[in-house]
């Protein structure tokens, strides 16, 4: 018998039921790292599995003031669970503002490849429509739109130099002002957050394995994702998001990009190594491809994990249980 109870008036709404699996997931997607493909999948999966897909209409504001952080965290935290929130936004520390830290997931790609994709996408869009790029960059001057990529790099235009090239790390470092400064501090903080707050950071070059692991770790969200991804009809939609008119810079220009993006590459190879360790733990083999040549001075590629990894015999299911207790 409920009657005319004043419980809600005195105590506020009852607490949300805690679900027996990660019910708060954030995908703070990195630009030009396959996120539009993944969001297409999430829209299908949310209808199939009944979770709340929370998206944002804000696409170009990744750095937030303290008040903006508080407001966004409040809005996310009060969403109906289970939810998966997705937006281009640098890492948010929910616990700093008294909230429950959600499970984070993300995907990154080779930094030069990401930069080139973004450079030409801003100018010429993708196969979804000829005018797509005009909508995104309506005020871009014609001489800027058709600026040769080699000229941009070799003549040190702002778009092709730091801090513009320091792009991936801040998504994992966070909202602190030093996260925007290319250097060891931001790099190490980004690595720490990957280890402590991200369930999975995959690499786009091995997207099918990323999807397989997401299905294993978060079945309530991603069960059946690979069959959807491989469906010919979905592939047609995915092909429409491919950037058009991309060209490859000269070897000299690429070497300069490597120099300018050395911290980005150190982070990328760290994530790639961790991803391969995770794949081995769950029985997925890494198909080793011959690495692309890199300048002699540059960060060496980490050892590929072809041998079984001895993690002090940590049980796979125990590892997943610990994740589910976050």
Sheet containing 198-203: which strands, arranged edge to edge? Answer: 52-55, 83-86, 24-27, 103-108, 198-203
Using a 10 angstrom Cβ sphere, with 0-12 exposed, 13-18 middle and 19 or more buried, the burial of residue 246 is middle
Instruction: Kindly name the residue from 11, 49, 59, 88 that is annotated as catalytic.
Output: 88
Looking at the chain, list the stretches that DSSP marks H as alpha helix, in order from N- to C-terminal side.
Answer: 7-11, 35-49, 66-77, 111-124, 132-136, 142-145, 149-154, 170-173, 184-197, 207-217, 219-222, 225-230, 232-239, 251-260, 262-281, 316-324
Alpha-carbon span 291 to 277, nearest angstrom: 18
Under 8 Å between Cβ of 221 and 44 = no
> Which helix (H) or strand (E) covers residue 25, if one does?
strand 24-27
Look at the block and give the residue holding tokens 């450079």.
119
Beta bridge partners of 203: 108
Using a 10 angstrom Cβ sphere, with 0-12 exposed, 13-18 middle and 19 or more buried, the burial of residue 190 is buried
Alpha-carbon span 107 to 210, nearest angstrom: 8
Q: Based on the residue annotation, tell me whether 88 is a catalytic residue of this protein.
A: yes
CA angle 264, 266, 270 (to 5 degrees): 115
Positions annotated as catalytic residues are 88
């Amino acid at each position: 018998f409920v009657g005319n109870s004043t419980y809600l008036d005195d105590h506020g709404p009852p607490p949300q039921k805690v679900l027996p699996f990660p019910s708060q997931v954030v995908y703070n997607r990195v630009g030009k790292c396959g996120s539009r493909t993944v969001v297409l999948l999430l829209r299908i999966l949310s209808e199939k599995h009944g979770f709340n897909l929370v998206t944002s209409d804000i696409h170009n504001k990744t750095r937030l003031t303290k008040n903006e952080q508080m407001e966004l965290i409040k809005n996310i935290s009060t969403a109906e669970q289970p939810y998966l929130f997705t937006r281009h936004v640098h890492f948010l520390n929910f616990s700093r503002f008294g909230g429950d830290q959600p499970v984070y997931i993300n995907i990154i790609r080779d930094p030069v490849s990401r930069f080139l994709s973004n450079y030409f996408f801003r100018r010429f869009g993708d196969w979804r429509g000829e005018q797509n790029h005009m909508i995104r960059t309506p005020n871009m001057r014609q001489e800027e739109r058709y600026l040769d990529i080699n000229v941009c790099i070799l003549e040190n235009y702002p778009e092709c130099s730091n801090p513009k090239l320091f792009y991936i790390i801040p998504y994992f470092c966070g909202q602190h002002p030093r996260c925007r400064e290319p250097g060891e501090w931001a790099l190490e903080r980004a690595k720490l957050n990957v280890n402590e707050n991200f369930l999975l950071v995959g690499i786009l070059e091995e997207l099918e394995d990323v999807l397989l692991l997401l299905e294993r770790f978060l079945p309530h969200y991603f069960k059946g994702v690979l069959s959807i991804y491989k469906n010919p009809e979905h592939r047609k939609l995915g092909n429409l998001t491919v950037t058009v008119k991309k060209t490859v810079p000269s070897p000299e220009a690429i070497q300069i990009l490597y120099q300018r993006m050395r911290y980005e590459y150190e982070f990328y190879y760290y994530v790639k190594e961790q991803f391969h360790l995770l794949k081995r733990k769950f029985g997925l083999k890494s198909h080793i491809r011959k690495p692309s040549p890199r300048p002699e001075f540059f960060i060496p590629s980490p050892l590929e994990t072809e041998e079984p990894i001895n993690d002090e015999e940590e049980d796979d299911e125990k590892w997943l249980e610990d994740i589910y207790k976050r």
